[in-house]
Amino acid sequence: MKNLLLAFLLSIITNTYSFSQEVLKLQPCQDSLILQQADSIKKAVALEGFTLLRESSVTMESQYELPVIVPLQERSLYHFVFIGEHSSGQVEVRLIDSDGNMVIYEKRSRNESNFISFSYIPKVTLYHQFRPLQVNKKKKKGLCGYVMLFKKTKA
């Protein structure tokens, strides 16, 4: 009886642990307006001597940050871009360094723009978090966002 009870408790603990370790999987999205905008931004940033390192479309929820972890090298110039849905009332981006300090915070309302773009030179070679967020009162889930990371390669 003790062995049966012990096996039962062990299976409950194991199942609980496995469900609590669920990995958040990013889902791509399709928005032709955002893709056109991303293509235009890529061309403009490339003309400034930057090379595209990473880009991704991603499905987001309104008012929830989407942490994107990127390795950055000290004294290299990087350029970040986040594009939110045109119907979102606000887009925000935070850049968090390896010590957990917020080094950049940008916010735009729909009246200003649906994208945020900024450059950054890290002080140390470590991972940083790029945290985009968009606020949309009409659509809470299934928002399309687009993130891009560039690195300066030409003088």
pLDDT, tens digit, for every residue of 23-49? 556 788 888 999 999 999 999 999 999
Would you say the C-alpha torsion 107, 110, 113, 117 has a positive or negative sign? positive
Q: What is the pTM of this model?
A: 0.81
Tell me the CATH number of domain 27-152, given options 3.30.2350.10, 3.30.1020.10, 3.50.50.60, 2.60.120.380: 2.60.120.380
Q: Distance (Å, rounded) from C-alpha 145 to C-alpha 34? A: 8
Return left, alpha or beta for 2; rule: phi > 0 is left, psi -120 to 50 is alpha, else beta.
alpha
Query: What confidence tens digit (pLDDT) does each residue in 85-144 have?
Result: 999 999 999 999 989 999 999 999 988 999 999 999 999 999 999 999 999 999 999 999
